[in-house]
């Protein structure tokens, strides 16, 4: 939760609280991979798999550990886990103006859809989501 609370811009209300996160982790096919640097939690990926499809529900890296390849390592790790679990495709939704899109493109994701007004900011503004996908 320390990484969660440090990583997401509070203006967009995208961070999950502890109850939401724990509740997701009780669902079958859901896991969280935690990246650590020198014993300190640096980032995590929260993933849910159903049959051969998976969704990257959340990906976050603490500001102090950014631009050092932690997110790319988490995505590569997620792909390896999915291959071991007979996964074929990894999807995600990302706010259309989130710089993370550059990361996802670099990791090989392509846009397959757009969801108008998917995210609701705490200022009442709505933002489209892009649906991205890659094969694992
Ligand atoms: C997006 C996020 C996960 C990236 O984590 P990171 O560990 O810094 O990413 P990496 O170091 O693995 O980045 C690899 C490459 O992706 C691209 N990239 C990553 N962050 C970027 C940014 N903010 N702007 C532009 N390109 C970016 C770059 O090509 C980068 O390579 P470079 O550093 O050599 O230029 C992190 O900034 C974050 O936690 N953001 C807030 C939460 C969020 O929006 N998550 C995504 C939606 S769930």
Q: Are the C-beta atoms of residues 3 and 42 closer than 8 Å to each other?
A: yes
Instruction: Return the residue whose CA atom lies nearest to atom 33 of ligand 1.
Output: 67
Number of domains comprising the chain: 1
User: Domain limits at 7?
Assistant: 2-135
pTM confidence score? 0.97
> In CATH, what number is assigned to the domain containing residue 71?
3.40.630.30
pLDDT digits (tens, 9 = 90+) for 116-130: 999 988 888 999 999
Ligand 1 atom at minimum distance from 67 CA? 11
pLDDT digits (tens, 9 = 90+) for 35-91: 999 999 999 999 999 999 999 999 999 999 999 999 999 999 999 999 999 999 999
C-alpha–C-alpha distance, residues 11 and 15, integer Å: 10
Q: SS3 of 129, please?
A: strand
């Amino acid at each position: 939760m320390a990484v969660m609370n440090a990583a997401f811009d509070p203006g967009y209300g995208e961070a999950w609280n502890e109850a939401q996160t724990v509740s997701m982790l009780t669902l079958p096919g859901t896991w969280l991979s935690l990246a650590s640097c020198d014993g300190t939690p640096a980032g995590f990926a929260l993933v849910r798999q159903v049959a051969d499809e998976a969704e990257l529900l959340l990906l976050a890296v603490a500001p102090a550990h950014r631009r050092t390849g932690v997110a790319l390592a988490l995505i590569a790790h997620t792909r390896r886990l999915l291959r071991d679990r007979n996964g074929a495709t990894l999807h995600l939704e990302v706010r259309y103006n989130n710089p993370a899109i550059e990361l996802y493109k670099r990791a090989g994701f392509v846009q397959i859809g757009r969801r108008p007004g998917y995210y609701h900011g705490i200022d009442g503004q709505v933002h489209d989501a892009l649906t991205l996908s890659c094969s694992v």
